[in-house]
Amino acid sequence: DQVQLQQVDECLWEIPKSARADMRVPAYVYALEELLEDLRKDRTLDQLMNVATLPGIQKAAIVMPDGHEGYGFPIGGVAATDVSRGVISPGGIGYDINCGVRLLTSSTRYADVKGKIGELVHELSRMIPKGVGRGGRLVLSTGQMEEVLAGGAEWAVANGYGLNEDLDHIESRGRLEHADPARVSDHAVKRGHDQLGTIGAGNHFVEVDRVEEIYDDETAEAFGLFQGQLVILIHTGSRGLGHQVATDYLKTFLNAMPSYGLHIPDRELACAPFSSEDGQNYFKAMAAAANYAWCNREVISWEVRQSWEYIMKEAGENLRLLYDVAHNIAKIETHRISGKNHRLVVHRKGATRAFGPGSPEIPDDFSKTGQPVLIPGSMGTHSYVLAGTKESMENSFGSTCHGAGRRMSRTAAKKMVDAPTLKRELLANDIAVEAGSYAGLAEEAPVAYKDIDLVVETVHRARLARKVAKLRPVGVIKG
């Protein structure tokens, strides 16, 4: 039987706490009605109700319009637990710790360099290693790995792979202070030692886009965006290192759960009290993996800038970092619930922070507009730049969606899509593609994803972020 959804308003549905005896809070689903069918096709709503049972969860378990089934938690999920009475759950962060997106902006118009895009894509593809398990040009010693895990994007800047000014435009300045490299296993460190500057599997990409539409002139100007501009979107995370951290701690948590007397409806929701030793160890290891991911996206930006210099014959520094957002992470944040401030562990799993105007955690240049929010769609459709809002602070712990979200499994997509045909079709639409493998490309076909325009329209109307600009791909390097 179908989960009953009570409509709260145009874009918001509630599963009341009374729907299941074990729910501690209600569940909220943000979606335009057209998107509900997809959300009902897999276990998303059941998983969301499971999340609502977590000890210490506050206000509601939330899923965004790009939501779909994931490991334990749905992807597109947001859950905030109380720092002193609540749990932390690796399934609420995901295997790719600090998977995230950044956008580099140029001062070049697509129309002026259209003939060079093919060469640029080719050069990017040569410079940026892609594919599962692929290593890169940087091979780090254990000591250097410790510096990366503690220093995040700062390590890249200090070692000549980035600009100082980039740091101001990264969520948390690209470094979580509570990271502890000693909490990361040797095996995880080993998996990460040669993967900085690489994108990994097929859902990750480096994409050249042009700005196709501006929705808000003033904010676009503050973000340095203009119609027809070439920009570069980068999506990847913490590679094998983060995956190993998640694997290690899920195992630890599963073993430790009985000793904490925690009861959960699904093993995949394995968790530990945030304040316990296990909880803290994971939190510190997760932060170290998050730092690795920020360093990775910084080194990739360096590779992009090198390629840009070589093909466009202008300084790589002309590519400026608009912002870098994490969409798989847990952070300690203070939010108001029923008029009172609460210290919370905010889990965002396939969800993007969308802090509004005036937030002390975002840089001064965005204090009037709200933080930039980057939402990739697919290699054949659109992506969006949004801005954080005051309403997201009030309603969703300062969070919004993270993409279009899958509507078809990888296996189903592979069966349905012929990759060489897809590549030709994209090229016919002026989108040059270089992929790690044809199988990976088929899994990532635009039909495998939901309608990005509907997903973004949902969060815009719900005011969880507001539209600033729409991007259209012109060249894509897929993992």
- The one-letter amino acid code at 101 reads V
Q: Which two tokens stand for residue 327?
A: 């969409």
Kind of pairing between the strands at 328-337 and 61-68: unpaired
> Could you say which of 77, 162, 192, 237 contacts Mn ion (CB under 5 A)?
237
Please, which residues have CB within 8 angstroms of residue 249's CB and are 6 or more apart in sequence?
Answer: 90, 278, 281, 282, 285, 286
Binding of ligand 5GP by 378 (CB under 6 A): yes
Q: Is the separation of the CB atoms in 446 and 382 below 8 Å? A: no
User: Which one of Mn ion, ligand 5GP, none is in contact with 449 (Cβ closer than 5 to 8 A by kind)?
Assistant: ligand 5GP
CA 354 to centroid of chain Cα atoms: 12
Query: In the range 174-233, which residues lie near Mn ion by CB under 5 A?
Result: none
Compute the distance between CA of residue 452 and CA of residue 456 in angstroms, rounded to an integer: 6
Phi, psi of 287 (to 5 degrees): -65, -40
Minimum distance between the CB of residue 235 and Mn ion, rounded to whole angstroms? 6
End-to-end, the C-alpha distance of the chain in Å comes to 39
Minimum distance between the CB of residue 70 and ligand 5GP, rounded to whole angstroms? 9
Q: Is the separation of the CB atoms in 431 and 473 below 8 Å? A: yes
Compute the distance between CA of residue 229 and CA of residue 209 in angstroms, rounded to an integer: 8
User: Which one of Mn ion, ligand 5GP, none is in contact with 383 (Cβ closer than 5 to 8 A by kind)?
Assistant: ligand 5GP
Binding of ligand 5GP by 449 (CB under 6 A): yes
Phi, psi of 30 (to 5 degrees): -95, 115
- The one-letter amino acid code at 340 reads K
The nearer residue to ligand 5GP, 152 or 475, going by C-beta atoms, is: 475
Binding of ligand 5GP by 99 (CB under 6 A): yes
Conformation bin of residue 430: beta by default, left when phi > 0, alpha when psi is -120 to 50: left
The nearer residue to ligand 5GP, 207 or 216, going by C-beta atoms, is: 207
Which helix H or strand E contains 77, and what residues bound it? strand 75-82
The nearer residue to ligand 5GP, 405 or 436, going by C-beta atoms, is: 405
Binding of ligand 5GP by 404 (CB under 6 A): yes
Which one of the listed residues 204, 335, 402, 460 is annotated catalytic? Answer: 402
> Could you say which of 147, 278, 333, 444 contacts ligand 5GP (CB under 6 A)?
444
Q: Which two tokens stand for residue 146?
A: 């410790």
The nearer residue to Mn ion, 130 or 335, going by C-beta atoms, is: 130
Binding of Mn ion by 440 (CB under 5 A): no
- Catalytic status, residue 402: yes
**Burial classification of residue 315, based on how many CB atoms lie within 10 Å of its CB (0-12 exposed, 13-18 middle, 19 or more buried):** exposed
Question: How many residues sit in the footprint of ligand 5GP (CB under 6 A)?
Answer: 23
The nearer residue to ligand 5GP, 183 or 382, going by C-beta atoms, is: 382
CA dist list (Å): 168 to 165, 178, 371 = 6, 19, 12
The nearer residue to ligand 5GP, 167 or 351, going by C-beta atoms, is: 351
Question: How many residues sit in the footprint of Mn ion (CB under 5 A)?
Answer: 3
Q: Identify which range of 3-11, 45-53, 173-181, 401-409 contacts ligand 5GP by CB under 6 A.
A: 401-409
Which helix H or strand E contains 290, and what residues bound it? helix 277-312
Binding of Mn ion by 154 (CB under 5 A): no
The nearer residue to ligand 5GP, 47 or 58, going by C-beta atoms, is: 47
Compute the distance between CA of residue 232 and CA of residue 105 in angstroms, rounded to an integer: 6
Q: Identify which range of 153-161, 183-191, 396-404, 416-424 contacts ligand 5GP by CB under 6 A.
A: 396-404
Q: Is the separation of the CB atoms in 170 and 296 below 8 Å? A: no
The residue behind tokens 């096709």 is: 41
The nearer residue to Mn ion, 39 or 93, going by C-beta atoms, is: 93
Q: Identify which range of 111-119, 181-189, 373-381, 414-422 contacts ligand 5GP by CB under 6 A.
A: 373-381
> Could you say which of 350, 388, 440, 479 contacts ligand 5GP (CB under 6 A)?
350
Query: In the range 35-74, which residues lie near ligand 5GP by CB under 6 A?
Result: 66
Please, which residues have CB within 8 angstroms of residue 176's CB and are 6 or more apart in sequence?
Answer: 152, 287, 290, 291, 331
Q: What is the DSSP string of 201-234?
A: STT-EEEEEEEEEES-HHHHHHHT--TTEEEEEE
The nearer residue to ligand 5GP, 145 or 206, going by C-beta atoms, is: 206
Binding of ligand 5GP by 207 (CB under 6 A): yes
Minimum distance between the CB of residue 42 and ligand 5GP, rounded to whole angstroms? 14
Q: Which residues of 253-287 are buried (b: 16+ CB within 10 A; e: fewer)?
A: beebbeebebebbbebbbbbbbbbebbbbbbbbbb
Binding of Mn ion by 66 (CB under 5 A): no
User: Which one of ligand 5GP, Mn ion, none is in contact with 35 (Cβ closer than 5 to 8 A by kind)?
Assistant: none
Phi, psi of 186 (to 5 degrees): -60, -35
Residue span 90-119 as binding mask against Mn ion, x where in contact by CB under 5 A, dash where not: ------x--x--------------------
Binding of ligand 5GP by 376 (CB under 6 A): yes
Q: Which parts of this chain interact with Mn ion (CB under 5 A)?
A: 96, 99, 237
Q: Which parts of this chain interact with ligand 5GP (CB under 6 A)?
A: 66, 75, 99, 203, 205, 207, 233, 235, 350, 376-379, 383, 402-405, 444, 449, 473, 476, 478
Query: Which residues participate in catalysis according to the annotation?
Result: 402
